[in-house]
Structure 1
Amino acid sequence: MRTILVIFLAIVVFSCKETKMKSVTMKEDVSILANDSLNGRKTGSSDEKKAAEYIAKRFADLGLQPKGTDGYFQKFTFKASKIPHQEAEFTSEKNDSTETGENVIAYLDNTAENTVVIGAHYDHLGMGGEGSLYREGDAIHNGADDNASGVAMMLHLADSLQNKDSPKNNNYLFIAFSGEEEGLLGSNYFVKNPTIDTKKVTYMLNMDMVGRLNPENTLAVYGVGTSPVLKQTVNANAGDLKIVENESGVGPSDHTSFYLSDIPVLHFFTGQHEDYHKPSDDTERVNFEGMEMVSNYIFSIIKDLDSQKKLPFRKTKNESEVVPDFKVTLGVVPDYLFNGKGMRIDGISEDRPAQRAGLQKGDVVVKTGDFEVTDMMSYMESLSKFEKGQTVIVTIKRSEELKEVEVTF
């Protein structure tokens, strides 16, 4: 199977004379972008360049206009950070210590006054490194959900928006962002160096990790407070999806760059999982039926908003500014789609306090020490009360039964 995909990728990327692709499915796009041959699409790598060329070829086959600074491409130079958790920085000086990323940008011109931006980042972690949660050495991090799924959905929407009955009252700018994993580099660069008039952008849609819709059909939608009309539209089109809303326009993905430029945003996310930032985030674990459901939902939102004039922008509470500082962690992946009381665990990191204490995926933390946990914010606030080496009693709910577990941070 890998050999077939490698051959197909080579044909698609490097042959300009091939017959145009027709009806490429989201599964096929994910399979190509998350194939081992691209070695995890590390920002600035030759493998990311191959992924960019594939996306550009897909844009061309869809009949979309190039809208970068060099055809479909918009290059930027950055200096990668050598300090953990510090973002990379742009630089105009290209030398041995700098790297080059490139956004891939295409345009559907409906001769309308305003434009909708639809984006998804295509870079990932390469062989691992600082952002990886894998502790067994270098390995290919294919990022099928993060974020081949978002790129595939963006391409699917680009195809759907050219049907004769598709909404025509806006133009559409499609951007595959580079450098998201390095600190939202590609989207940040674009809003500072736009290839269209961003004052004519009515709103921006971002898809990051949309490939793991759960059995309850739960979808997180962020940014519903960034324009007065979005909350109603998001819920009116939900259908069989269970929507978990978040008003804030600020979050750890590319929509943030547009929100900070006073553009209304919606960010779609099917939730974190145990394969997040690990080599196991592979194509076979993606829920493609769920992706169809989410893509159809986003398309219905676009159609619903098509009759609106340029959406008014509204600032929201920046939740990142009120997150408390904490020196300890449990070493768990929270379930960001959980809207019950407490903080539900969606994954356990190896050799961390939670694993050593016997906590399990699905456990709901309802109390840490003397501090009640009702949601994600109260969970983080509780962690800020403890120091490394301290031992506390953590109360969890497991299968409707309350248990007390001793945890040493």
Structure 2
Amino acid sequence: MWWALFDNEWRKLWARRGRLLVAGTLALAALTVFATWRGQAAQEANLRQQAALNARALAALRARAAAAPPAQQTLIHEQEAAMAANLVNLEGVPVRQQLQEDRRLARHAPRGQAGALEETVALDRYRLAHGIIRLRPWHTGAWRLAGLVLTGPAILGYALLALGVTADLVAGEVQDGTLSFLFLHGQRRGAIYLAKLATGITAGWGSLAGGSLLTWLGAALLVGTGSPWAPHVVGARLVKVTGSFPPVQPAGPPFPILPQWAFDLWALVLALVAAGVWVAVVLALSRLTRSVTVTLVLGTAGLIGGLFLSLAGWAGLLSPTVHLAPMADWDGSTAGVCGIPAAGLPLGLGVLAGWGLAALAYGWSRFGRLEP
């Protein structure tokens, strides 16, 4: 019986919002790939232009050194060496050289900055251990799944798409009279609601996973994926440091590190969890308002507000829209924005769990009381 209910709900959703779901997913993937390609091309062009300017300046400095009196040649040679080092940096810094410099800085750093430098040292060691021997500037911004889809602005696009699809599951059928109110008062009313919830989650998950895969394929063809072993620190202990930017800094070791491939997979899994909670919240909101338009307006306002609520302290962190990308909680990005060291993955998952359970309890208990 439950599978028949789910199949019925899925067929209705596909008939009413299938084109929106497919077109929205393809559009989001295409826009993300285009933005990635343009951003990467602009970054490479700027770096090449800077390298060309430095090369011309270096050639002019060498010409000056050849014609300068001996008393000035020492100073000119020092300037030449500094400029040559800058050229090497533009072409890529050897990780081993960077590790030595980071170690030196970490030994003499103030207490508030030592943790961040120790984290950089840990990342350098991880790179060397996994065959990454050179850091190239035009590769540092290379496309990655978590960066552009699962922790960036694109996640809001997928949340809006899920909002548009899910808002119709209850309120849309109430408005056009296709919801069977007699059946709702029967023994299967709870199963009907769960079937609608499962349908919305399936649509949201399919859109997010499918869009991420399409973006990965498109961006991999245009700009590459970089090393699968590029390291990322997650779950580090954070402390608030006055006068620093970001306002929270790593407290010190240990520094749990995930390679790029694992970082991306975990980002996808966590984003799917957040997407499921978001669908449950939208479905409960749809039951409460009984209006597709009102649900869309309130849901959109919540998503836009989530961009600013992270700046509102602890009160803002209680919003589920702040945690649509839980990987941002895990890698410390959310804590860096709000300035609260405790704004990590446990808090984000706790907020999502609370909203998800509350939405499920309200929607399931009130769904059978709908009246035409």
TM-score tier (shorter):
under 0.3
Higher strand share: 1
* Larger relative contact order (Cα-Cα within 8 Å, sequence gap ≥ 6): 2
Larger CA Rg, structure 1 vs 2: 2
Greater helix content: 2
- Normalising by the residue count of structure 2, what TM-score does the alignment of the two structures yield? 0.27
